[in-house]
């Protein structure tokens, strides 16, 4: 599995503005729902509930909010680079500026859960993060990750 199996160029957002973590998660859930043709009320609660279990901020300015959705047929990703980093309760205490939303079918087996590991591994690379932060437009941001 590759990142391009999870993320399309149309689902990459550059210089997104968010005042706080809750606003960001709601905005990204709404955008994900729109892209998937789902009601936002079917996405927002799942992302927020997962975040209540513990922050999905994995450190180095990166967060991977994720959830399983009953109405989803295949894994889906949405990538956002924020204009200004925001507090996210990340494990290293750093503010977050790169967010990869990962939505999985509720019936996801281990092979689909590998999607989360793939995203986390990819976003741990210093070189990848540097390219993502230097990207001048959404296509460069996508190319840095894919």
Quote the domain boundaries for residue 87: 3-145
pLDDT of residue 113: 66
Helix segments in the chain, DSSP class H: 21-36, 44-53, 110-122, 126-134, 138-145
Q: Tokens standing for 51? A: 């975040």
Of 102, 114, 90, 99, which is closest to residue 1 (Cα–Cα)?
114
Catalytic site includes residue 66: yes
pLDDT of residue 111: 54
Q: How many domains does the chain have?
A: 1
CATH of the domain at 87: 3.40.930.10
How would you classify the pairing of strands 66-69 and 12-16?
Answer: unpaired
Nearest 5°: phi and psi at 80?
-135, 135
pTM of the predicted model over 0.85: yes
Mean pLDDT per 10-residue run, the chain (146 residues)? 91 95 96 93 92 96 95 92 97 97 83 83 96 96 92
**Active-site hit among 66, 69, 76, 118:** 66
Query: Residue 10 CB: number of other CB atoms within 10 A?
Result: 10
Q: What is the DSSP string of 49-75?
A: HHHHHS--EEETTEE--EEEETT-SS-
């Amino acid at each position: 599995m590759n990142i391009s199996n999870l993320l399309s160029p149309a689902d990459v957002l550059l210089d997104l503005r968010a005042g706080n973590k809750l606003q960001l998660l709601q905005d990204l859930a709404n955008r994900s729902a729109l892209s998937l043709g789902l009601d936002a009320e079917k996405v927002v609660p799942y992302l927020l509930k997962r975040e209540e279990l513990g922050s999905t901020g994995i450190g180095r300015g990166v967060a991977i909010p994720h959830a399983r959705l009953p109405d989803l047929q295949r894994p889906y990703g949405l990538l956002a680079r924020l204009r200004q980093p925001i507090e996210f309760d990340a494990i290293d205490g750093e503010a977050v500026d790169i967010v990869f939303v990962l939505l999985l079918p509720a019936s996801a087996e281990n092979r689909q859960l590998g999607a989360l590991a793939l995203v986390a591994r990819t976003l741990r690379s210093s070189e990848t993060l540097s390219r993502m932060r230097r990207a001048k437009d959404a296509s460069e941001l996508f190319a840095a990750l894919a």
